[in-house]
Amino acid sequence: MGKFGLMAGTAAIALLTAAGAQAAVANNDTAAGKDNGAATVVEARVQMAQNAMPSQGSSSSTADLEARVRALEESLAARDERAQTDRTRLSTLEQQYNYASWTFDNGRPVIATGDGRFTMGVRVRFQSDFAGFSQDATHPAGFAGPSDLSSGAVVRRAYFGVEGKAYNDFAYEFRLNAGGSNGGSNGSSGGVTAGEGDPLLNKAVVTYTGIPNLHFNVGVIEPAFMFEGTTSSASLMFLERPEIDNIAADVFGAGDSRRGIEIGWAKT
């Protein structure tokens, strides 16, 4: 009986121990399952976050690239437009520079370059004088009056020349005079002259007008003196200027063409 009781006690203890061990194992498995589940959820969330982050970055990068491409396209289009504008402007300037134009200023022909910096006008002026007297061919004896009043005609002025401008700041004029009150006869030197012993070359002057209100003349000029002397012969009421003006001009060296330098001022 004693042995049987001991064996029964030992078996009971063994059963209790096995049951406790199984319960502990079950509890451990349950805790491990919970931990594994939590870890799985965390890993899933991390994976979703990682998957979401590249997607947002990719979308942002694509938008930035599209914006940059559009900006580059607009810049290229603007550059092409500027280049086309420059080519058109250059072509227009070349056409204006290459093609000269003819105009008729108050009936006078003028040729000018396309850019207007160079011009040349042709100038011709004729002014003639005619006088006819009716008088007897014979006169009575002792007649003291004029016997010949010299009927006839002369070309008072016969100007041929050109004038214009160059580089906008320079003007020029070249003029020949083949007329005169004495018909353009030769002077005492025997050379070719215009009327009244004046040289055939009436004017050959270059003028600088780059300074406002001032002009500088160099060459063969006729010095300006008094208001009458500054008036062109094309604008005179009569063929000749008043004699008092001619006398005063001759006294001060004006009235005739000569080589020299002249500086003038005029308010414009």
pLDDT (average), residues 48-71: 68
Amino acid at 239: L
Nearest C-alpha neighbor of 174 from the set 207, 156, 201: 201
Q: What pLDDT sits at residue 184?
A: 45
249: left (phi over 0), alpha (psi -120 to 50) or beta: alpha
Instruction: Using a pLDDT cut of 70, give the percent of the chain over it.
Output: 69
Q: Taking residues 98-114, what's their average pLDDT?
A: 84
Both tokens of 42, joined, read: 């965390």
H/E element holding 159? strand 152-166
Contacts for 135 with CB less than 8 Å, ≥ 6 apart: 148, 149
Kindly compute the dihedral angle of the four CA atoms of residues 31, 36, 41, 46, in this order, to the nearest 10 degrees.
Answer: 130
Question: Among residues of the chain, what percentage have pLDDT more than 90?
Answer: 24
What is the rounded CA–CA span in Å between residue 130 and residue 266? 38
Tens digit of pLDDT for each residue in 169-196? Answer: 999 999 999 887 654 444 444 444 444 5
CA 51, 53, 57, 59 dihedral sign is positive
**For residues 143-157, average pLDDT:** 81
Question: Whole-angstrom Cα distance, residue 40 to residue 61?
Answer: 32
Q: Residue 12 in 3-state DSSP? A: helix
Compute φ and ψ for 228, nearest 5 degrees: -65, -35
199 falls in which pLDDT band (50, 70, 90)? confident
Mean per-residue pLDDT over the chain, rounded: 75
Q: Is the pLDDT of residue 139 over 60?
A: yes
Ordered alpha helix ranges (H), the chain: 2-98, 226-230, 243-251
**Which of 142-146, 204-208, 227-231 has maximum average pLDDT?**
204-208
206: enclosing H helix or E strand: strand 201-208
What does the alpha-carbon distance between residue 219 and residue 162 come to, in Å, rounded to a whole number?
15
Could you tell me which residue, 120 or 9, shows the higher pLDDT?
120
Task: Name beta bridge partners: 206.
Answer: 172, 218
Of residues 23 and 131, more confidence is placed in 131
In angstroms and rounded to an integer, the radius of gyration of the C-alpha atoms of the chain is 57
Tokens of 135: 């008088």
Average pLDDT over residues 130-141: 82
CA distance 216 to 206: 8
Between CA 217 and CA 230 the distance in angstroms is 14
Instruction: Give 163's strand partners.
Output: 121, 173
Q: How big is the CA angle at 194 (ends 193 and 196), to the nearest 5 degrees?
A: 100
Strands 201-208 and 118-131: unpaired
DSSP one-letter code for 141: T
pLDDT at residue number 95: 65
For residue 152 the two structure tokens come to: 């006839």
- Band of pLDDT at residue 198, cut at 50, 70 and 90: low
